[in-house]
Amino acid sequence: MLAFAAALLTKVPMRISKAMALEFGKTLHDHGSGRNRQVILDLPEDVVKNGVPRRTKLGSRLVALLDIYMALIRKPLAQSGHAFWFPATAG
């Protein structure tokens, strides 16, 4: 979890508390597959440090880390239907 969070915050600086509140379907949009796959991070002004909304296409390495994180770490932690990127282990 920490490797993905560190890579994400390096690419898209934001407060850690805001990163913990990110939700799938609201800020992360995953479209297509294979070579046509695009993963877009869409951040509203209240999430980024400078107050300017930001839309960023994640690079292939970060997408690969996201896939590993989703399959091996997040899936066992998250309850069914849980949309937060970084779910708490206590629920």
* Regions of the chain short of the pLDDT cut 70: 1, 76-91
- pLDDT in the model for residue 91: 47
Sorted by sequence, the CB contacts under 8 Å of residue 77 that are 6+ apart come out as: 87, 89
Claim: this prediction has a pTM higher than 0.75: no
- pLDDT in the model for residue 1: 62
- pLDDT in the model for residue 5: 80
18-46 residues labelled b (16+ CB within 10 A) or e (exposed): bbebbeeeebbebeeeeeeeebebebeee
Q: Where are the alpha helices (DSSP H) in the chain?
A: 2-11, 16-20, 60-68, 75-77
